[in-house]
Structure 1
């Protein structure tokens, strides 16, 4: 992997009743790490983390402890970062978690099993020079969540992708929005990026449950209100230019995650949506605050 580079594996899931959700991101080269940004060696393997966020009526947690290269092991089907890991056995992605929240410590421990019906066949380049690649591997798959801490079990659908890059995100992009929605057959994904050179890219994708790509009419721009606390800008697209906020999961200085209600490809959907401002991320005040939520352990 390139000096200054990164790779992450991303899972987000919602329960069948829509009352519980989670996000898990395993990072090599933690792109939002203040420690990585200040490390002159720019060694991605010395800045790894498993980010876990729980949303819902019964439990809300945020974990992101950064670890060095001695805490990482991996092969073609497995990656372990500290006490947490992801393993693929050919049919099931099993994620084992044992993380601690910050700044107030509490445990997040348990197992998530995702069983993709199939995989997509295309990787997308997000920038003009090919330094950032995105593969939406399994956009909609059955998932089982079984946590001991907090005590929580549910079934639902999950999204699984990976991003791989050769340089820091904030050098290439100013901001982006992304959302994914379950459809009657498969899923839809919207990914809109704004690059540092002033250009942009708007991806409108649809995939069947087995990963086969389907045609989709590009939806229209739809305004959304900013978040309440940090006034993070939000926007999306929908068939009729109308979308509403159902719930805001995360409201931070540079990132927002939300549940929307809108229409995509003729279906009423509840997309999971994110807004990321890399201009805000570069603010020195944000860099100062991040270690309170993202502690670092040497081992």
Structure 2
């Protein structure tokens, strides 16, 4: 399961169209709670965009339409109630994220520092209790945040990211970012059980097979070898997968993503997005 709360939905066609009209656009008018659920008994996707009236922000809580998230006693709880697209069905229930420890740093993803990434909880326990579909499980997870002062596609061409759990209870995160001007940024960071960051030299580049939509996929591995174990999400400009490789001398399974912003900028891709990302004016 992947949950993303968007304020200023970076992949929204409506947000992109509004910016192209030249007016100042309030990102709070383009919000969404994205849910991607994939498993042996349920595969569902929801990402309904909502306007400013559907957003409520407080110090320890965030409400977007019928869904919400809040911190209490060191636990982040999601209360979800969303409709899937393009075929309508309901995702309703609760997800609890219990951090092992909280990180205190953020990292620039580009040379100018316009895009930043913050690993809030590199390791966490996740408890899922959904009524629709009827799904219950618990396992390990991860919590982070991205923010930017400009649209991703303005200055970036693509990125790859991966996160792997390590044997000692820590986490390894790899980021490779290519800017539109050809500049590159690379992050390789191991987080210990106390969420302290320990940068290390990025391993060798390892090429992965292209996705079903022909998105380029690559990662980094100690021996330059990696394999796609299974694909979780395959879209015209984005792919999420489970991969296997060697990092810091360990054989690891990683959640991996490839984002191609050249594809995202294409008019034909923008025209396809509303079928998976509808917009609602209801609260």
| TM norm structure 2 | 0.96
Q: Is the 8 A contact 2:188 2:199 kept in 1?
A: no
Q: Is the 8 A contact 1:141 1:209 kept in 2?
A: no
Aligned to 1:60: 43
Segments of 5+ residues of structure 1 without an aligned counterpart are 1-21
Q: Is the 8 A contact 2:101 2:123 kept in 1?
A: no
Aligned to 1:23: 2
Secondary structure class of the residue paired with 1:270: strand
Question: Structure 1, residues 144-197: CA drift from partner, whole Å, max 9, x if none?
Answer: 111111000011111100111111000010000000000112110001100112
Q: CA deviation at 1:242?
A: 0.7
Q: Does residue 129 in structure 1 map to residue 108 in structure 2? A: no
Q: Does residue 42 in structure 1 map to residue 43 in structure 2? A: no
Secondary structure class of the residue paired with 2:263: helix
Question: Structure 1, residues 175-226: CA drift from partner, whole Å, max 9, x if none?
Answer: 0000000011211000110011210101000001220123534211101010
Aligned to 1:16: none
5 Å-filtered alignment, 1:167-182, equals 167-182=150-165
5 Å-filtered alignment, 1:97-176, equals 97-176=80-159
Question: Structure 1, residues 226-282: CA drift from partner, whole Å, max 9, x if none?
Answer: 01x311110000111110010011111100000001111111110000000000000
Count of residues in Structure 1 that have an aligned counterpart in Structure 2: 277
Aligned to 1:17: none
Aligned to 1:14: none
| TM norm structure 1 | 0.91
Segments of 5+ residues of structure 2 without an aligned counterpart are none
Supply the distance in 2 between the matched residues of 1:291 and 1:243 (Cα, whole angstroms): 34
Supply the distance in 2 between the matched residues of 1:41 and 1:290 (Cα, whole angstroms): 22
Of the candidates 183, 187, 194, which is equivalent to residue 210 of structure 1? 194
Supply the distance in 2 between the matched residues of 1:281 and 1:90 (Cα, whole angstroms): 39
Q: CA deviation at 1:125?
A: 1.0
Of the candidates 61, 66, 74, which is equivalent to residue 91 of structure 1? 74
Q: Does residue 32 in structure 1 map to residue 21 in structure 2? A: no
Secondary structure class of the residue paired with 1:226: coil
Supply the distance in 1 between the matched residues of 2:238 and 2:60 (Cα, whole angstroms): 31
